[in-house]
Structure 1
Amino acid sequence: MEQAIQTEIYKIQKPEQWASDIDDAQLIDYIKESEFSQKQADEGRDYCYFLDKIYYTTDNENSEYACLAYTLNEPSNLERASVVDVVLEENETYVIHRISVLRDGVLVDKIADTKIKILDSENQSGGGVLSSNKKINLTIKDLRLYDILIMEDSRIKIFTERDFLRKEFSKYVWVGPDSYWAYGKYKFTFKNDREKTIAYKKTFFRDQDGNVLEPEINYLKKGEQFVIEENNYINFVDSNREVSPFIDFATEGNWKEFSNYISPIYEDIFTKSSLTEFAPKLIEKLDAISDKDEQLQFAIEYVQNHINYIYNADEMNGHKPQEPAVTYENKQGDCKAKSVLLKVVLDYLGIDSSIVLVNFNTDFYMKYYLPSLLTFNHVIVKINYKGESYFIDATTRDEFGLIENRGFIYFMHYLEVTPNLELQIKPPHLFSYYAVDEKSALFVENNIGKLKLTTIYKGNRANNMRKYFKNTNKREIIDSWNNFFFYTLNYNNDRNGTDLRNIFKDAVIEIVSDDKKSNEFKIEYKSTIENPYFTDAKNNRFLMYFDRNIVKNTARDFIHKDITFWHNFDNERYEISLFTDQKIDVTEKFTIQESTIKNPYFDFVSRKKISKNGGIISVDYKPLVNLEIPEKDFEDFRTAHHEVADSNFGIGVDIIEDGFLNKLKFNFKKHFN
């Protein structure tokens, strides 16, 4: 067997005392065919004869053990089994106990045929993200179809001094196994060997009819264990519509206790930090700004853009915040360091702020989890200014604007690092501005269309669009807008397959203005279109402009039994003008149709002005955001969005062709349609 030099990253030895002790005879006994296993083979699925998983936690280590045996009847599974990657945290050891195959009833040791490499994990190495993780790469030679592969291994994480949170608290989430696999025997064991009691909460378990059961909370004292054991088991969760059952294990406690634990750690950092001592040059720049709003903008953008974001996943929950003097001197730090520095600057300016713990990835599940500081994976800053609360992510780059114009962060749950606080809920939000304010016009004369679009982006949209224009090739940008108009003007239904650059002649797009204080980014697009009318199969001509961005298909198509719809749309306003030198049908339904939709979660109003040669539609959309739509309200919410999609997201005009027969046809249509 080939071994790398850094043998301390992995070992080959027997399992620890807390793990299972399975000898070869027991292994062979566990691997038996049955009616259940045969059924899986008949269906062309691979099969796991047994899976034995153990999670073991003490005040000094977190470790996991697994032993499993599964078939290699599918070529794709054989390929995956031949090369295995194991990513390890800092100071974590991978221990190999057994790599074997059962081939024709004979147990064959494959450790000698296994090549082991130690690599730096590159999963999170870009954009200022650093990781000291190591990756163990196992390549197992001479695996064959219809082998039964047996893997037995452990991961042992010994805590260092900076793992103080994980020494003090435990958190582990068990999730129901992959629904692809069928298990002859499935066993999971959680062993608590900590001094403190661990609570566990069973959530999204179901009865025989598939109904979700009420969550169940129990406790494990030191030396106690929790076991799930199933025979002939398949996890039948419909992952597209259901949340898989999970069990949250966490050191017993409540949010007030945890806020009281973490607050002094941060307060100790603040009391030692004097901006006047470690950042006199920064103070000079701040003092030179007389306007308080602009001081605040400068402070935020200084920390965001001049302090490099270095994120080490191992350390997020593992060590105390870096002192702001060090962050300022080195011009780098993780989210905790950057947030603490920003708060120290705001304290100097006399602006009220606090450190906030969040986890955007698992925000939905926060209401189901047990209280735990280890639930959070990110730190941001809450700023109270002029009667409003704002949340600022100090790790974000290239954001601009006075605080009321900056990007909005969508999330619900957070823990403010202040004594005696419960988990907080960020309230629903109504924007005071339009994130998209757009005017588009198509004027047609002598069968030539002049198309012009002017858009003002604000807030998150301005930040994102500014980055897009900065980082994207100009020709690619124009093609993107051409593609948008190809569908918006319905050309996909009468000239599909045509090169867009031959349809939208001389297309140009320019940045008109970029106001970094109001955070407004304005662009203008222009093009010329020969034969701008959409022509149907009967040679009827139309001008059509239906902007599908107005239709929120994520709301219309949302289907999930367990997860509620997260409402995070922007305020938008549109004015669309279509005019031609031809006469139009001023009575056509889709030309004159207007709408007023007042749902508790959004208002949508469309109004039109129609003349003999065209029309203008104004669309105003204002949602209440940063909230989950309750299940009882969702169908009405969906129906309201269907109404928007019922031709209320644009305008179309029918051309009345010259000539007696054409006018006769029009009159017939008018009276009998």
Structure 2
Amino acid sequence: MENIIESENYKIQKPEHWASKIDDNQLIEYIKESDFSNKQVDEGRDFCYFLDKIYYTSDTENSEYACVAYTLNEPSNLESASVKDVIVEENETFIIHRISVLRDGVLIDKIPDTKIKVLDNENQSEGGVLSSTKKINITIKDLRLYDILIAEDSRVKVFTDRDFLRKEYLKYVYVTPSTYWAYGNYKFTFINDRKATIAYKKTFYRDEAGNVLEPEINYLKKGERFVIEKENYINSFDINREIAPYIDFATDSNWTDLSNYISPLYDEIYSNASLKEFAPKLVEKLDAISDKDEQLRFAVEYVQNHVNYIFNADEMNGHKPQEPAITYENKQGDCKAKSVLLKVVLDYINIDSSVVLVNFNSDHYIKHYLPSLLTFNHVIVKINYKDETYFIDATARDEFGLIEYRCYIYFMHYLEVKPNQQLQIRQPHRFSYYGINEKVDFNAQNNEGHLKLTTTYKGNRANYMRKYFKNTNKREIIDSWNNFLFYTLNYSSDRNGTDLRTVFKDASIEIVSDDKTLNEFTIQYNSSIENPYFTDDQKNRFLMYFDRNVVKNNARDFMHTDVPFWHNFDNEKYEINLHTDQKIDTEEKFTRQESAINNPYFDYTSRKKVTKNSASIFVDFKPLVNLEIPAADFEKFRTDHHTIADSNFGIGIDIIEQGLLNLIKFNFKKRLK
């Protein structure tokens, strides 16, 4: 082996006392061909002869052990086996017990052919992300196709004082293995060596008919273990429509006890914080603002924009926040520090607030998990103001507006950092404003069109569009709008492949206004278009405008059986006006078609106005958001979105061509309808 000096991040030694003891003869005995293994190889897949996984937890460490033997019949698997990276945390050690191959029936030790490098796993410090994790790069020379690779290793995480929460509580989620692999023998063992009882909950397991079974909760006392063992095993869940079965292991507790454990850590910080003492200049600025709405806005934007967000991965493993005086003085802190500072500022201006724990990435699963503080990975602030509840992410930047117009954060579950709390679920939400309010005027005169779009974005949309216009090249923005309109006007059907800049001549887009108090951002697009009509294969001409962004295809196409559809659309309002100097068919079905949908989860109307030379549509969409659509309601929800997609999201007008023959042709076509 090239690296003979071991690092503190990895070792080469025998397994710990709690791990499996497997000698070479046993290894060879385990690696036997069978009808099951031959079938997998014949189908062109690699095969895992055995996988033995163990998770061990005590009051001083969390550790994982694995021993695996699998074929290297596929070049991609050979490549990934030859070079791999292992990420270890602070005070975590990767221990290699065995690296071998079985080649032509002979067991060969590959540790002498193994090169190990320890690298800093760091590439985001310039963005304020700090981590003391290490990357262990393992390269094995001379692995060959059709070898059988045997790897036996462990990861041992010894707790430090910083890991006080991990010492007190365990959280581990066991997920059933990849559907790619077939296993001759598969074994998973969980060993509880803690003083506290560990609860475990089996979730999304299925019966033989594929129906989800009711969750099953059991308990492990100190010294007890949970074991899964299977032979000739393939995990068969539908990866595209089902959640992989998993088992949630957590120290047996409840939300009330957990909130009572965590809240004193924050109360101690609040009790020692005096904004007047550590931030007199900030207090002076706050006192100078007489309007309460503006005072609240200033407080939020000060913490968001004037205090740098530093994500320290190691600090996030614990839950004790930084003193707000330090955060203010250093002008930096993680989500806990910034949230605590914001709460202290809000306390000073007598606005009710609290710190809450969330996990946006795993929000859907929180209701299925056992109670655990380690479920959460982020801290934000809950504000109660004028009989409304708002949630503010103190780590956000470039967000504007009074509290009711600021960024709306989508999530359902949170734990408030107060005594005697339960896991809370947010109520569904209706916006009081339109995220998009757009007026379109498309005028066609003398076979030339002029197109004008005036769009006002508000709330989340305003924040996003403001950043987009700030950070994107003007030409790129115009090209993006041109591309959108190329499909909206249906030009993709009669002039596909044409350079969009020749279609939309003199296209321009400008910011009309930017109201950072109301968080409204208004833009205007203008363009001239030669031959503004879409012409079909029969030489019929149409003026069309169908904005496909109005159609929510993710609602129409949603097929998951275990995860309900997450409803998070904006209020939208559109006025689309089409004008021409040509005669139009004022009775055409789709020109006149209107809709009115009153679904429990959204209201949608499209109203029309038709004259002899013009047609307009007025679209109004108001959803109930921040909720999961129950399975029993979803098909009606989907059908109503199909109704929107059936020509109710835009408008088209048919041109009646001049001349007697064209009039006869038009009347004949009308009789056939």
Both structures adopt the same fold (TM-score exceeding 0.5): yes
Aligned to 1:277: 277
| Residue pair 2:441, 2:452 contacting (<8 A) in 1 also | yes
Q: Does 1:99 align with 2:99?
A: yes
What amino acid is aligned across from residue 158 of structure 2 in structure 1? I
Partner of 2:610: 610
Deviations 1:212-247 (A, max 9, x none): 111000000000000000100000011100011000
- The equivalent of 1:33 in structure 2 is 33
Q: Please say if 1:261 is aligned against 2:254.
A: no
1:287 aligns with 2:281: no
The reply on whether 1:88 has 2:88 as its aligned counterpart is yes
Question: Alpha-carbon deviation of 1:4?
Answer: 8.7
How high is the sequence identity, in percent, across the aligned residues? 77
Residues 6 and 459 of structure 1: is their aligned pair in 2 closer, same or farther, counting only changes over 3 Å? farther
Amino acid at match of 1:104: D
CA distance in 2, matches of 1:293, 1:5: 63
Counterparts of residues 244-393 of structure 1 (less than 5 Å): 244-393=244-393
The match for 2:71 is: 71
Name the amino acid aligned to 1:645: A
DSSP-derived class of the 1:45 partner: coil
Change (3 A) 1:319 1:390: closer
Which segment is superposed worse, 42-51 or 106-115?
106-115
Give the drift of 1:114.
1.0
Q: What pairs with 1:557-568 in structure 2 (closer than 5 Å)?
A: 557-568=557-568
> Is the counterpart of residue 476 in structure 1 residue 473 in structure 2?
no
Q: CA deviation at 1:290?
A: 1.4
The two structures have a TM-score, normalised by structure 1, of 0.99
Moved over 4 A (4+): 123-126
Q: Secondary structure at the match of 2:421?
A: coil
The one-letter amino acid of 2:44's match is G
Q: 1:215 to 1:93 in 2, by over 3 A?
A: same
| One-letter code aligned to 2:223 | G
Q: Displacement of 1:280 after TM fit?
A: 0.8
One-letter identity of the residue aligned with 1:356 = V
Q: Which runs of 5+ in 1 are unaligned?
A: none
Q: How many residues align?
A: 673
CA contact (8 A) 1:4 1:118 kept: no
How far does the alpha carbon of each residue in 1:400-421 deviate from its partner, in whole angstroms, 9 at most, with x for none?
0000000100000000011111
TM-aligned CA deviation for residue 284 of structure 1: 1.3
Partner SS state of residue 18, structure 2:
coil
Can you list the C-alpha shifts for 1:447-506, whole angstroms capped at 9, x where unaligned? Answer: 110001011001110001111111111111101000000000001100000111110001
In structure 2, what is the Cα distance between the partners aligned to 1:580 and 1:4? 82
Tell me the distance in 2 between the aligned counterparts of 1:641 and 1:399: 31
Q: Which residue of 2 aligns with 1:424?
A: 424
- 3-state DSSP of counterpart to 1:285: helix
Matched with 1:220 is 220
CA RMSD of aligned residues (A): 1.0
Equivalent residue, structure 2, for 1:410: 410
| Separation (CA, whole Å) in 1 of partners of 2:16 and 2:326 | 41
CA contact (8 A) 2:162 2:317 kept: no
Q: Is the 8 A contact 1:162 1:320 kept in 2?
A: no
* Structure 1 partner of 2:401: 401
Offset of 1:5 from its aligned partner? 7.0
Q: Equivalent residue of 1:656, what SS?
A: coil
Helix, strand or coil: the match of 1:365?
helix
Q: Hey, what's the Cα distance between the residues in 2 that align with 1:27 and 1:644?
A: 62
For 2:6 and 2:402, the matched residues in 1 are separated by 51
Shift of 1:313: 2.5
Q: Which amino acid aligns with 1:390?
A: Y
Any conservation in 2 of the 1:428–1:626 contact (CA below 8 Å)?
yes
Structure 2: any 5+ residue segments left out of the alignment? Answer: none
SS at match of 2:152: strand
The one-character-per-residue Cα deviations of 1:370-394 (angstroms, maximum 9, x if unpaired) are 0000100000000000110000000
The answer for the alignment partner of 2:436 in structure 1 is: 436
Q: Which shifted more, 645-654 or 606-615?
A: 606-615
Instruction: Indicate whether 1:53 and 2:53 are aligned.
Output: yes
Quote how far apart the aligned CAs of 1:120 are: 1.6
The one-letter code matched in structure 2 to 1:497 is G
Q: Take 1:474 and 1:122, find their aligned partners in 2: how far apart are those partners?
A: 34
The DSSP-based 3-state class of the residue aligned with 2:666 is: helix
* Pair 1:155-2:160 in alignment: no
Are the aligned partners of 1:4 and 1:117 in contact in 2 as well (CA < 8 Å)? no
In the other structure, the counterpart of 2:23 is 23
| C-alpha distance in 2 between matches for 1:164 and 1:493 | 63
Using a 3 Å threshold, how does the CA distance of structure 1 residues 123 and 603 change in structure 2: closer, same or farther? farther
Counterpart position of 2:240: 240
SS at match of 1:56: strand
Give the SS at the match of 1:8: coil
CA contact (8 A) 1:192 1:220 kept: yes
Distance 1:640 1:404 in 2: 30
Paired letter, 2:151: M
1:229 aligns with 2:229: yes
Secondary structure of 1:496 counterpart = coil
Give me the whole-angstrom Cα distance separating, in 1, the residues matched to 2:109 and 2:249: 36
Shift of 1:547: 0.3
CA apart distance, 1:127 = 3.1
Query: What is the CA-CA distance between 1:435 and the residue it aligns to?
Result: 0.3
Tell me the distance in 2 between the aligned counterparts of 1:365 and 1:494. 47
Per-residue deviation, 1:21? 1.0
1:126 CA drift (Å): 6.0
CA distance in 1, matches of 2:246, 2:292: 48
Residue of structure 1 equivalent to 2:454: 454
CA shift for structure 1 position 3 = 2.6
Shift of 1:532: 0.8
- TM-fit CA distance, 1:90: 1.3
Q: Deviations over 1:553-596 (max 9, x none)?
A: 00000001111001000000000011111010000011111100
Q: d(CA) in 1 for partners of 2:90 and 2:403?
A: 38
Aligned-pair CA distance for 1:343: 0.3
Q: Matched residue of 2:162: which SS?
A: coil
Give how far 1:143 is off. 0.5
Partner in structure 2 of residue 13 of structure 1: 13
**What SS class does the counterpart of residue 655 from structure 2 fall into?**
strand
Q: Which residue of 2 aligns with 1:171?
A: 171
Does residue 115 of structure 1 match 2:115? yes
How far 1:671 moved relative to its partner?
2.3
TM value normalised by structure 2: 0.99
For residues 493-530 of structure 1, the C-alpha deviation after alignment (integer angstroms, 9 at most, x for no partner) is 00000111110001111111111100001111111100
Once residues 326 and 153 of structure 2 are traced to their aligned partners in structure 1, the CA distance between those partners, rounded to angstroms, is 41
